[in-house]
Amino acid sequence: MAFFKNNKSGERQSISSRLHPHSMRYGADNHSIETDDSSSVGETIELDLDSQLISRKKKSKWDSFTDCICVDWREALSRCCDGLWKKCRKQVEYHPRTINVGKLPVYHQEMQSAVYPPNVIRNQKYSIISFVPKVLFEQFKYFLNLYFLIMSCSQFVPEVRIGQLYTYWAPLGFVIAVTMLRELLDDIRRYRRDREVNSQSYKKLTSRGETFVPSSDIHVGDIIIVEKNQRVPADMVFLRTSEKSGSCFIRTDQLDGETDWKLKLAVATTQRLPADLALFDISAQIYAEKPQKDIHNFIGTFTMMDDSEERLSLNLDNSIWANSIIASGTALGVVIYTGSETRSVMNTSQPPTKAGLVDLEINFLTKILFLGVLALSLVMMAIKGFGGPWYRYLMRFILIFSYIIPISLRVNLDMGKAAYSLMMMSDKEIEGTVVRSTTIPEELGRIEYLLSDKTGTLTQNEMIFKKLHLGSVSYTAETMDEVVAHLRTPYLSDSIPQQMSHQRIRRTAVTKVHEAVKAIALCHNVTPVFEVEGDFDTMTYQASSPDEVALVKWTESVGLTLIHRDLTSMTLRTPVTGATVKYGILQTFPFTSETKRMGIIVKDSNGVITFYMKGADVVMSSIVQYNDWLDEETDNMAREGLRTLVVAKKQLTEDQYRDFEARYSQAKLSTEDRSTKIRAVVESLERDLELLCLTGVEDKLQENVRPTLELLRNAGIKIWMLTGDKLETAICIGKSSKLVSKTQEVFVFKQVYTRMDVHAELNAFRRKNDSALVIRGDTLEVCLSFYEDEFVELACHSPTVIVCRCSPTQKADIVHLIKKHTKKKICAIGDGGNDVSMIQAADTGVGIVGKEGKQASLAADFSINQFSYIGKLVIVHGRNSYKRSAALSQFVMHRGLIITTMQAVFCSIFYLASVELFPGFLMIGYGTVFTMFPVFSLVLDKDVTSTVALTYPELYKELTKGRSLSLKTFFIWVLISLYQGGIIMYGALLLFDQDFIHIVSITFTAVLLTELLMVALTIRTWHWLMIIAEIISLASYIVTLVIFKDFFDPKFLQTWNFIWKTVVITGISCIPLYIIKFLQRKFSPATHAKLVGL
């Protein structure tokens, strides 16, 4: 049965997974769905009032009983917890609000703070009360720490106590104390940042003038003045600005990650007031929708409560969200949402916690070790006999063998990961790299799939105008001087009479070029911004899209320059004479991802009203008048890798515009389904537009994209490109970036609608061996609905997959799909806000700081400045991190295994007595100062240099098999530990039979020397810090021997007999392993040794 989840009730429902979509029909009551599936004859599925699918098939009592018994216990527990949580915590309900402005009374301050949340930012994870419980819970949810907690607590029982309490509690307390200190410092830093933001001072406008208030004392209904370059403290409706145009720019990179400035418009009624204080002389109300997450929409109204009862609609252009920065002028607004109801806070969520595969593997190995402790203890008890208080002896055996699971394992791994992250960030060749998730650096060494965005990731997102097509003629960079000449012609006073001999042909070409360039220069949302730099004023263009800026810059290069724009007009400077032409802006319709087009209605000095529109070919082809060239030329430009826009126009009469304006104004005032109503009105204009031109803009490839993709492909990583662009552009970028090789065949999955269509295309693709797959997003959905398993299997065998017309949600779904079917590790890389869901869904997310902002970079696990950096990040740092983590973790476990082996031998020799071999302080020293530095120095080890790793990327393929940390390597280390522990103990018995009273000194010295030699044996590339670590460890042990004379006999330790026998025992435990390693290097060298001739 396939299970579905109801969004309303949250309960699981079931329906036959074999039910065909066309085999359902509604019953007579419109509440049931009858099926034609033969496997469910006589059964209908009823939709009850709670939208739950309930089977009407009659069940026996036994069936009901077995259903109850077989219910998933986790689901039952989840429901129980959800129910308790809902009862304990009341769900927050949001409501729309009406805010009074001016003479109308506002809520009393105390009442407001009870109705609306305080304007306080709180990013702290803990409070004074919750700090200790939360930190302890986070620590002891791991098996390793929980195990040691239980072992430590057992020491309070006198019958099972082994040695001193500090033997167990000191290491555990140290680990917990370090963790709590780290969390405390992090939370203190968060508290200080919050306090700094909450105490920031702002100007509050009152009827008595301006006063300063901290951000935390701002309430709904307050009128706040925000200066240039100041952070907006709360969500506001924009009332007034110091800019004469009635608009100002804001920066929203901290809100949505986009670096382009946004234009905000003040409410026209309040902007016309003579002064700020005049706001208190009017009577007005602002209606605001209930708080919600959507930062790209806002519905509200502004109503004057005087005799005029003027009512204006408010939208996103009239709102300024908290955490935005005022980029120009001064903004004055009335607060509508505060604190937890602001858009920025509602969109703030903790990213999903990602656990590395190495962590999961180590957690599994520690459970095996625990089972080994239990088995060893039971064997001891079986030999000893289960007479008397056997359970007490069993517990003591478990306790003395508990060192087999070292508590320092997680500490060493966490410190190692921090070291790997620091190495990545300090690498000068990938400068600017930031590691935001220090828990998974070794995951970069296990990547098998790389899912990449196109625009801004593989390309630079720097647009350059390349081609203009008018239907009958095409202009490129080589022929752009003809466009300049044609554009100058209408502005030459004496040129037209001279062209009369070529009247028909010449005038037609001139008119087409002039109309096309004028349309491009007018149809946009670009605003020229002048900034003073020294003695000169420099003009830059600000827009929400780099495509827009590229088009306006091109019109400037050919002679028609945008020099001014405000809310109601824009001014162009014409070629030849430099005269200015002013156009009135009547309406603008901004670009959205749903409409894929933008429009503007302008009025020239002659009173002619023109509706201009530009957009993607897929939507514009049905809007413009019939033509026979648009589709063909769009495909041609896409094959060249150009981003295309279709430009069209339509002239309107005064009556037509007045009728449209009335309907449009009425739709904008609606508070319910406003966007739908507005869209319907605008679409009434979008019919039979005159096609003017087709533009082609190039998005240049990122630096070193081709060699980086080749490097990753040679490393065995399969690369998928997921883009929202059209199919032809995606194919062209795929070929130009060498994602698809020249000799490789491209299989384009045709548009499919039915199961038969999908089946036929899958069979066709199956016959195309080694072909790159290109598929549209909508086609992909159809394929997955019918043949998910078959499609994913074929796609994963393809060398390259390109998914075009792909939405952000589909990108994340593809990540989950590959995870589900292949169980492979996936890395996702992107640069825009539309890539965040994909980045967070992947095992490893990489964000690029690009033209689209920092949203992807901030949400990713790793942040880089350009795509080519991922090569070294994965091939070099990923390799080193994984290899080092594997070696470090196994060596720490070996350190515990060898001690446990010695303890087991000691117990078996002394009549199975559950007595500790070493005193507690030595065991603590063994896990810390005596062996910590040499073992941790393994984080500096590397099997190959970065040059070799990049020269032979094929070496990376071995890492994905997980052979560096596996059951095989684990059991090899177990055998080594058993051998060395046994040799040390039995060697001590044989060589020191007369001095067995000094068993502690003999065996501990031998095991310490063995550990230091084993570290040296494991190291593949020596570092000077490794040598220092070995010297420090040996020196610290010698100092201990001198200080603790009560535990060690100095005279015995200085005898030649002790020295040579200890050296012999240590040599026998290590030399055979050195010989085996030498023979292995000689006769069965590693792959990298074969390649580089080591």
User: Catalytic residue positions?
Assistant: 453
Residue type at position 543:
A
CA distance 161 to 168: 10
How many C-beta atoms surround the C-beta of residue 741 within 10 A? 14
Alpha-helical runs (H) found in 160-312: 166-198, 268-271
Strand order in the sheet with 772-776: 434-435, 862-864, 844-848, 825-830, 447-452, 718-722, 800-804, 772-776, 746-748
Residue that has been written with the tokens 């430590």 in this structure: 152
Residue type at position 948:
V
Tokens of 507: 């005038």
Tokens of 799: 């060398």
How many C-beta atoms surround the C-beta of residue 1093 within 10 A? 6
CA distance 672 to 688: 30
CA distance 16 to 9: 20
Q: Give the residue among 119, 98, 264, 285 at the shortest CA–CA distance from 204.
A: 119
Q: Give the residue among 1045, 910, 1066, 1046 at the shortest CA–CA distance from 1002.
A: 1066
Q: Give the residue among 463, 860, 1046, 1051 at the shortest CA–CA distance from 700.
A: 463
Q: What does DSSP assign to residue 749?
A: P
Longest Cα–Cα distance of the chain, Å, equals 125
Q: Give the residue among 207, 216, 181 at the shortest CA–CA distance from 277.
A: 207
Residue 90: alpha-carbon gap to chain centroid: 31
Residue type at position 324:
S
DSSP string, 1022-1036: --HHHHHHHHHHHHH
Q: Are 872 and 855 in contact (CB under 8 A)?
A: no
Q: Give the residue among 728, 739, 528 at the shortest CA–CA distance from 616.
A: 728
Q: What share of the chain is helix, strand, coil (3-state, %, to 5)?
A: 50, 20, 30
Q: Are 946 and 895 in contact (CB under 8 A)?
A: no
CA distance 699 to 691: 24
DSSP strand E in 549-657: where? 561-565, 569-573, 580-589, 597-603, 609-615, 642-652
Tokens of 28: 């007579």
Q: Which residues contact 36 (CB under 8 A, 6 or more apart)?
A: 20, 23, 24, 25
Residue type at position 853:
G
CA angle at 784 for the pair 786 and 639, rounded to the nearest 5°: 120
Q: Give the residue among 145, 131, 130, 151 at the shortest CA–CA distance from 175.
A: 145
CA distance 916 to 906: 9
CA distance 904 to 917: 9
Q: What does DSSP assign to residue 278?
A: G
In terms of C-beta distances under 8 Å and separation of at least 24 residues, what long-range contacts does 395-399 make, across chains too? 395/154, 395/160, 396/160, 396/162, 396/914, 397/907, 397/914, 398/151, 398/373, 398/374, 399/151, 399/154, 399/155, 399/160, 399/162, 399/914
